Structure 1
Amino acid sequence: KTTSAYIVPMQLSVAIKYLYFIAILISSLFNPYLVVGLVIFVIGEVIVRAVKMKDEQDLTV
């Protein structure tokens, strides 16, 4: 009986740790500042790559 009494709290604590980890992931994924930052970063990358491609095309012509 003692082993089963120890196993259940262990499984519960592990489950709580996983739930806590998942909650942190979800909150970081749906963090509005993070989302806005990523959108701005992606737009910036697209602009930089477009400018580089335009420069390369101007050089070849």
Structure 2
Amino acid sequence: MLVGDVRVAPEILDPAIGYLRAEDHSPTELAARLAQRVTSPAARTAGARDFGAVAHDLAASL
């Protein structure tokens, strides 16, 4: 989800990644989409990871 005037360089996004611009959706729509993602079967089987570890792995891959 992108909020405000944010631009993401295409080379750092996997083609399978989509995103929503907050200004194009109501808060209710954004909340519903987020809930859909975090309660999906894929999210439940992915397992939790420490945010710091995820950020570290991402930085190392760039």
TM-score interval (norm. to shorter): 0.3 to 0.5
Structure with higher RCO (Cα < 8 A, 6+ apart): 2
What's the TM-score, normalizing by structure 1? 0.34
Q: Which has the larger radius of gyration?
A: 1
